Amino acid sequence: MLNKELFNKRNLRTIILAMVLFIPFIWGTKLASIWFSDMGKEKISIIKKIGISFLILGPYWGVAISGFYKRLRRILNYKLLI
């Protein structure tokens, strides 16, 4: 019974969405670690690196988190009503 509730289509889509959203997070943190490890070698300042990181990943995370929150809220409301 628990397996059917946990792995129905809607919950499975949410789990897949969470995994897909996590991949760019890993990519972004790896990119940031590479940038910050080369701080002395490059002429780009740390503030510019942080700004570039936010410009690249900021809009993505805004859209991704809002979509994931709406889907999660819909699932929780569905579970509470039944």
Query: DSSP string covering 17-28, please?
Result: HHHHHHHHHHHH
Q: Return the residue matching tokens 């943190």.
A: 29
Q: What is the pLDDT of residues 6-61, one digit of tens each?
A: 566 667 777 777 777 777 777 767 776 666 666 555 566 667 767 777 777 777 77
Structural domain including 18 reads 2-81
Q: What is the pLDDT of residues 53-68, one digit of tens each?
A: 777 777 777 777 777 7
Query: Band of the pLDDT at 1, cuts 50, 70, 90?
Result: very low
C-beta neighbour count of 31 within 10 angstroms = 16
| Residue 79, pLDDT score | 59
What is the rounded average pLDDT of the residues 1-10? 59
- Cβ contact 52:31 at 8 Å: no
Angstrom distances, CA of residue 47 to CA of 37, 50, 51, 58, 73: 14, 5, 6, 15, 36
The number of folded domains in the chain is: 1
